Amino acid sequence: MLLETTGLTTRYGSISALRDVSLSVGAGEVVGLIGPNGAGKTTLLGTVAGLLRPAAGTVRFDGADMTGKAPDRMLRAGLALVPEHRRIFVDLTVVENLKIGGITLPPAQRPALLEEMAELFPVLRDKWDTAAGYLSGGEAQQLAIARALMSKPRLLMMDEPSLGLAPVLVDVVFELISTLRDQGCTMLVVEQNANRMLEVADRAYVLRSGALVAAGTGPELLARDGLFDTFVGGTAE
Amino acid sequence: MTELIQNVIDGLGRGSIYALLALGVAVIFGVMHLLNFAHGELITVSGYAAYAAFSSGWSWFLVAPLIIVVSIVSALLIERVAFSRVRGASDFTLVLTSFGIHFLVSAVFVMYVGARVKTFSEPGWIADTYSIGPIAVEVFDTVVIAVTIVTLLATVAILQRTMFGLALRAAAEDFDTARLMGVNSDRVIRGAFALSGALAGIAGIFWLMRAGNTAPSAGIDPMLKGVLAALIGGLGSMRGAVLGGLALGVAEVVLRSQLPGEAAALTEGVVFALIALLFIFRPQGLISVAHAERV
């Protein structure tokens, strides 16, 4: 397994946002993480990425214990996160955002990667030297993903990549996930759009109130009555 | 009219020094959200280093680079000893820490060097002037303005063209996300302190040339000017800091010369009144930083 968490528990003060979560992502897999608002999805990604320190449990990446390591260490190990709300640097230009994404790489590798991103994201190429604050929501989301890809991650984690986007742009995001999957990119994706996610994911975990309540492939999960009642219909589009 | 032009040139010379100080304050505020009331201490320490060097027979040519080096090293040392321990604490804790350093440095010099003012000789050319038509321009102001322009261009080049500059700007906008992208927080913060130290060092050379002395409390005035100018410009904005410094310098010189008779003595008060007025109409300062949200 490329990523493996065991018994991961994260607290904000005395509140446990995440309780005893054990999950794994194998190399080449696309794994979805779905659940209602406040289920702890963002906390889980934040804990894995090193932004939050777990109160208990371990995070293993490629066999090595990486529990509690700082975000830049995790990134160097090959784990990139597209954060919730994109968090692109609006005062920096598009290309500067991408360069920051590749800051951990040897400088000589950056030009080729920038070229790669320009090909994968044609909308960004046209705005290379534009301040990222002027991008539309869809463009900004693509920039956030491209910025994470600039570190050549072995595992790409995305937090709600389709959130707040117009339906046509949601399509763009899911097409992108499919493209990346076909290129062999390993992904762990948090999505509120459960149905769409289950279409592109190899399998998924369902998180509720900080704990895993189900795991399996798309068809398996969809076949389980009542599992998604609490949030699927209500939050899709 | 001639007098006004002359005042403005004088003011720009004075304001250039403020601008360099304010830029250092803005750089630190940007990455750490720390309003650094200890910034002036870089000039206190540099001043004593200069005094020691002059006592050993050094000339300004050697002392000037020494001041820059001492200022950078002091900035890094202050970060290491004090600010690195309160990183991520509330803004209030950071401000109090910086005040503590400010008083501590003064106290150390009072205890170990003495409370008396230490004087050294200003460079011979400090009062020289040349004239452009009816306007007499100080050589000193000219040098200050020229060096400031070069320094600002170099700073812009560092911020725009180097990976360090890019990381610094990214961290100033969103520190957590920058870390997430692999920006090393220690390195970027130390770099910011080194940069602010270098800027304070260059400002310090001119400040000390003009003052011709140093004292335990010598840091208060440059600290006030730097912090005020950064506030006027809009905290966190580097362009604003430079503008704020120049505006402050010009306002001081013009008011001192144009206020009638006795009122000239009230220049400082009038300047503060003007600043208060500015904040009533533009609480965010001259240039607002839209994305200064920080942890």
Nearest-Cα distance to chain B for A95, in Å, is 11
Q: Say whether B179 and A89 touch across the interface (CB within 8 A).
A: no
- Tell me, what amino acid is at B281? F
Q: How many CA atoms lie within 13 Å of B123's alpha carbon, on the beta-carbon side?
A: 19
Chain A residue whose CA is closest to B160:
A96
Query: SS3 sequence, B12-51?
Result: HHHHHHHHHHHHHHHHHHHHHCCCCCCCCHHHHHHHHHHH
Cα–Cα distance for residue pair A29/B12, rounded to 1 Å: 62
Cα–Cα distance for residue pair B64/B57, rounded to 1 Å: 14
Residues (pLDDT < 70) of chain A are: 228-237
Where along chain B do its domains lie?
2-281
Q: What residue numbers bound the domain in which A74 lies?
A: 3-235
**Cβ atoms within 10 Å of A80's Cβ, excluding its own:** 26
Question: Which residues from A are below 8 Å from B183, CB to CB?
Answer: 72, 100, 103
Total length of chain A: 237
State CA A153 to chain mean position distance: 11
Q: Say whether A51 and B179 touch across the interface (CB within 8 A).
A: yes
Tell me whether B237 touches chain A (CB under 8 Å).
no
Tens digit of each residue's pLDDT (9 = 90 or more) over B128-167: 999 998 898 999 999 999 999 999 999 999 999 999 999 9
For chain A, the domain total comes to 1
Tell me whether B295 touches chain A (CB under 8 Å).
no
Question: Which residues from A are below 8 Å from B236, CB to CB?
Answer: none
pLDDT of res. B295: 31
Q: Which residues of A touch B (CB under 8 A)?
A: 49, 51, 70-72, 75-76, 81, 83, 87, 89-92, 96, 99-101, 103-104, 107, 133, 147, 151
Q: Say whether B181 and A96 touch across the interface (CB within 8 A).
A: no
User: Are B58 and B66 in contact, with CB atoms under 8 Å apart?
Assistant: yes
pLDDT of res. A236: 38
Tell me whether B238 touches chain A (CB under 8 Å).
no
| Nearest alpha-carbon partner for A104 in A61, A148, A60 | A148
Nearest-Cα distance to chain A for B24, in Å, is 20
**Cβ atoms within 10 Å of B156's Cβ, excluding its own:** 13
A42, A74, A91, best to mutate vs chain B, most B CBs in 10 Å: A91
Chain B residue whose CA is closest to A86:
B177
CA angle A130, B161, B43 (to 5 degrees): 120
Nearest-Cα distance to chain B for A165, in Å, is 21
Pick the CATH number of B2-281 from 1.10.1200, 1.20.140, 1.10.3470, 1.10.1740: 1.10.3470
| Nearest alpha-carbon partner for B115 in B106, B124, B123 | B106
Cα–Cα distance for residue pair A133/A145, rounded to 1 Å: 16
| Two structure tokens written together for A57 | 């449990």
Sign for the CA dihedral angle at A10, A12, A18, A20 comes to: positive
Tens digit of each residue's pLDDT (9 = 90 or more) over B3-36: 899 999 999 999 999 999 999 999 999 999 999 9
pLDDT of res. B162: 95
A76, A81, A87, best to mutate vs chain B, most B CBs in 10 Å: A87
Cα–Cα distance for residue pair B292/B33, rounded to 1 Å: 9
Tens digit of each residue's pLDDT (9 = 90 or more) over B162-215: 999 999 999 999 998 999 999 998 999 999 999 999 999 999 999 999 999 999
What's the CATH code of the domain at A58? 3.40.50.300
Chains A & B: contacts with CB separation below 8 Å: 65
Tell me whether B292 touches chain A (CB under 8 Å).
no
Q: Say whether B181 and A90 touch across the interface (CB within 8 A).
A: no
Q: Say whether A103 and B167 touch across the interface (CB within 8 A).
A: yes
pLDDT of res. B2: 86
Question: Which residues from A are below 8 Å from B181, CB to CB?
Answer: 75, 100-101, 103, 147, 151
A213-217, B49-53, B267-271, range with greatest mean pLDDT: B49-53
For residues B211-224, give the mean pLDDT: 95
| Two structure tokens written together for A39 | 């289920």
CA distances from B282 to A34, A63, B15, B276 (A): 46, 55, 21, 10
Res. B292: pLDDT tops 70: no
| Nearest alpha-carbon partner for A49 in A25, A66, A26, A27 | A66
pLDDT of res. B291: 54
Q: Say whether B184 and A72 touch across the interface (CB within 8 A).
A: yes
| Two structure tokens written together for A185 | 């990119």
User: Are A21 and A8 in contact, with CB atoms under 8 Å apart?
Assistant: yes
pTM for this one?
0.89
Nearest-Cα distance to chain B for A178, in Å, is 23
Query: SS3 sequence, A145-212?
Result: HHHHHCCCCCEEEEECCCCCCCHHHHHHHHHHHHHHHHCCCCEEEEECCHHHHHHHCCEEEEEECCEE
pLDDT of res. A142: 93
Nearest-Cα distance to chain A for B275, in Å, is 28
